[in-house]
Every structure is written in structure tokens, then in C-alpha cells.
């Protein structure tokens, strides 16, 4: 949807004229008569950038601040089979700027405090590359469910997905994290082109101030969970100083233990994107505390472990899961060093491997989405333009000559779901809620 200047809120226009040099007014407001920028980010947990560039069904233009990000012209990329396989994530170009600032290193504990729908959180996960631990939190449970689905689709093995208020988490994780991202709920001025109807209808000066107050509360909780020497990135998709530079100034005045390292404000008339604000902060002092949450001690019964290992030996070429954990007959592969999550509202921990049914192990969709084709023995590998791909993604059975038993159905070598082969027919085991309509 294109936006004419006259449809922008008058108070927003007045404020931006006061905020920007007069020489930039015309360029800034002209952006709202153009189409929004769209982008994709390669999921390097599944595919390297060079391979994606060869496979990509749409033209790619690099995003300057994220080596795995590209601008695209296509209106809708979510229907592509590679998207279903978690090969890429649809993400607006300027939204990719916050995570590189955080400079995530392998082995770190990282918190994405306001994570849904999961663009930045799965971006962090790709930087960790299966090491360390990433905690993705979303206070709104319905949004947390969408977040959990995206974590599964992208094949993240070392994640915990929570749904809690930041103030609640601060009581449990004092000084626990090496890095924290606060991509705060905001007035959404950077969404005026992308989600025009919703963003414009919700905007008001009062809402800007309301958002700023909520952001202050979230930041105050975040700093409690950061280690001394740890880094925090605060970001928004809005242009108001109350939520951006002003928010940071007030935060630093309230928290002398924090210092500002870098600050970026991307305006849409200066970049090929919708606009974003991001700053990098460091905790330079404070008390070093012993984390309240102890590590979880995985437990699995001998019968359950035996049933899973028998399946694993038939399905995989080698050992796939290390830290087996059983809850009510459901078997999980836990990340190394994950905390005991008792009492927390948890949606996902590590990888749900499957469950015992009448003493036999049945794998889950999460297991195959966290797998790579070279790890799996039985593969149904289809070309992206094979008509059976759409049939399978829609939940139908497909014909394929393969040994009977569980198998991974793949598109060009990327798993899209579990199948069970019976005499040349592969039965579909994609969960009904995930099948394409």
C-alpha cells in the first residue's frame, strides 16, 4: 500500500520537520509514496550464503550491515518451499542492523527479551551456530507460539522459548547473560509503509509517551540480567527521540554502571529500508552474582532411551542427540548447560525429538527440521519445481520408491517434514497446523 503525505498524522509530520534538517524534509516524506523495502536473511544453520545465492528463486541485492541479508523485489516470499524449509527468514533490511551490533560470539548466553516473531532471535541463533544458549522471550503468549514455530522452522537446537514479563525474568536471571537484545515494543513509525493500516491507526503522541514508559521498564529489567562486562543492544523501529536517543540518555542517567558504545539511527530516505534505531551499551561495573537458576539435570528412563536410540540408529548416520530428557513420555534433546526451567512459562527447550507410543519411538516434526540431509539415512529428495513438493507441503501423501520406514522429505537437500514410506507411498507427517493452505 502506498501512502500519500496527507495520510500521515499531522503531529508526526510536524515533529519530523522539527527533527530533520529542512533540506531533508522532501526526501523523507517522498519515501511514503513508494513501496516498502523487503528482505530475506539466509539461515546459516541450514545453508551458506553462496549456496543460497545459487538457489535463490528471486533476485538478491546485499544488505550492507548484515552479511547474510539481501533485499528482494518479490511481494511475497513466504510461500516458497525454501522458506518452509527454514533456509531463509523474511526480514525487512533495516531490522537486520541490531544483531550485528551485539557482536554475538560462539558459546555465549544470549537473551532476546522481546523476541516475537523471531527475526532477530533466529539471527542471533545463526551467529551462535549451535553453541551456547539463546533464550527468546515474548510476554504475549499467542505471539510466543508464533515465535516458537519460527524457532522450530529455522532448526535452532540451543534455544529456550519463554513467555513472561521482563520484570519476572529479572527476578530469576540476575547477572546471567553475556549479551541481551531489547528490541522494544514501540510506536512503529518505521512501519508506516510496511504495515500502513495498522501502524497509522495506532499512532498518537500519547502512544509514543506510553511506549517510552514501557521501554524504560523493560530496560530496567534487562540491565539486572546482564553480567558485568556484558553488552546490551536497545533497538526500535520508530523515529521519536522520546523512544530513541532520549530513552538512552535517561537510561544512562539512571544506570551509571552502563556506558554507550555506539548508536545508529537509520532513516528511510538515507538507506534502502524502512528505518531503525539501535545502540550498543556495556555494563562496566556492578556486583557479580551467582545465578539463581541452576543447570537442569537431564533424566530419561532406560526404556525410553533404548527406544530412542534404536530409532536414531535406523534414521541417522551417527549420534544426533546428546542430552536426552523425558517429560511424560515426550523426549527432548537439551542444549548444553541449560537452566532448570521449573516454574517458568516455557514453550520450547532444545529440540522435541518425539514420543513413545505403545513402547515404540515416534519422531516429531522438530527433529527433522533440526536435522541436515547429510545426517540422515533415508531421504526423499525432490527438486523445488517437482509437483510433489506442493502436494507434500499441503499434507498429502506422495509416491516415491524408497525403503519402508521413517524418512526425511527434502527440497533440494533441505528437510521440510517427516514421511513414513510404505510400499512406494510416503505418508505425510507434517503437523496439520503447519501445512500450506
Q: Which residues are catalytic?
A: 237
Nearest to 72 by CA among 85, 87, 86, 90: 90
| Cα atoms in the 13 Å half-sphere on the side-chain side of 212 | 19
Helix and strand numbers (H, E) in the chain are: 14, 21
Q: What is the rounded CA–CA span in Å between residue 145 and residue 44?
A: 23
Q: How far apart are CA 288 and CA 55, in angstroms?
A: 48
Which of 315, 312, 311 lies closest to 359 in space, CA to CA?
Answer: 311
Give ∠ CA 78-371-119 in degrees, rounded to 5.
40
DSSP string, 318-349: S---SEEEEETTEEEEEPTTPBP-TTS-EEEE
Grouping H, G, I as helix, E, B as strand and the rest as coil, residue 149 is helix
DSSP SS3 for 164:
coil
Q: How many whole angstroms separate alpha carbon 233 and alpha carbon 250?
A: 15
Q: Measured between alpha carbons, how far is 61 from 136 in angstroms, rounded to an integer?
A: 29
Peptide bond between residue 117 and the one before it cis (omega within 30 degrees of 0): yes
**Residue 152 and residue 182: Cα distance in Å, rounded?**
22
Amino acid at each position: 500500500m502506498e501512502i500519500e503525505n496527507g495520510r500521515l498524522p499531522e503531529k508526526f509530520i510536524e515533529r519530523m520537520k522539527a527533527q530533520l534538517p529542512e533540506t531533508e524534509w522532501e526526501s523523507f516524506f517522498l519515501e511514503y509514496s513508494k513501496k516498502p523495502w523487503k528482505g530475506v536473511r539466509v539461515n546459516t544453520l541450514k545453508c551458506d550464503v553462496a549456496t543460497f545465492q545459487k538457489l535463490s528463486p528471486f533476485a538478491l541485492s546485499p544488505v550492507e550491515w548484515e552479511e547474510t541479508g539481501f533485499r528482494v523485489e518479490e511481494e511475497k516470499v513466504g510461500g516458497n518451499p525454501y522458506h518452509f524449509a527454514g533456509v531463509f527468514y523474511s526480514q525487512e533490511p533495516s531490522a537486520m542492523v541490531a544483531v550485528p551490533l551485539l557482536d554475538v560470539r560462539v558459546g555465549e548466553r544470549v537473551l532476546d527479551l522481546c523476541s516475537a516473531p523471531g527475526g532477530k532471535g533466529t539471527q542471533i541463533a545463526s551467529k551462535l551456530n549451535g553453541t551456547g544458549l539463546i533464550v527468546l522471550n515474548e510476554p504475549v503468549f499467542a505471539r510466543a507460539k508464533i515465535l516458537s514455530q519460527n524457532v522450530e522452522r529455522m532448526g535452532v537446537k540451543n534455544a529456550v522459548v519463554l513467555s513472561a514479563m521482563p520484570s519476572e525474568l529479572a527476578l530469576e536471571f540476575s547477572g546471567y547473560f553475556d549479551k541481551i537484545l531489547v528490541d522494544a515494543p514501540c510506536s512503529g513509525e518505521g512501519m508506516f509503509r510496511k504495515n500502513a493500516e495498522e501502524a497509522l491507526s495506532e499512532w498518537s503522541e500519547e502512544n509514543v509517551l506510553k511506549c517510552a514508559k514501557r521501554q524504560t521498564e523493560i530496560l530496567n529489567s534487562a540491565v539486572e540480567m546482564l553480567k558485568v562486562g556484558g553488552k546490551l543492544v536497545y533497538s526500535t523501529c520508530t523515529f521519536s527521540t522520546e523512544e530513541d536517543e532520549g530513552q538512552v540518555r535517561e537510561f544512562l542517567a539512571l544506570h551509571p554502571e552502563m556506558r554507550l558504545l555506539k548508536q545508529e539511527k537509520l532513516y528511510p530516505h538515507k538507506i534502502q529500508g524502512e528505518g531503525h534505531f539501535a545502540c550498543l551499551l556495556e555494563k562496566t561495573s556492578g556486583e557479580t552474582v551467582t545465578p539463581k537458576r541452576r543447570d537442569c539435570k537431564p533424566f530419561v528412563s532406560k526404556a525410553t532411551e533404548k527406544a530412542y536410540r534404536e530409532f536414531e540408529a535406523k534414521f541417522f548416520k551417527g549420534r544426533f542427540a546428546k542430552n536426552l530428557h523425558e517429560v511424560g513420555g515426550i523426549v527432548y534433546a537439551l542444549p548444553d548447560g541449560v537452566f532448570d526451567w521449573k516454574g517458568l512459562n516455557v514453550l520450547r527447550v532444545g529440540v522435541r525429538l518425539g514420543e513413545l507410543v505403545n513402547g515404540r519411538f515416534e519422531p516429531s516434526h522438530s527433529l527433522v527440521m533440526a536435522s541436515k540431509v547429510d545426517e540422515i539415512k533415508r531421504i526423499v529428495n525432490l527438486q523445488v519445481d517437482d509437483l510433489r513438493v506442493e502436494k507434500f507441503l499441503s499434507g498429502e501423501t506422495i509416491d516415491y520408491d524408497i525403503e519402508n520406514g521413517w524418512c526425511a522429505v527434502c527440497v533440494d537437500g533441505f528437510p521440510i517434514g517427516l514421511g513414513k514410506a510404505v510400499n512406494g507411498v510416503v505418508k505425510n507427517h507434517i503437523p496439520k497446523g503447519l501445512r500450506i493452505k
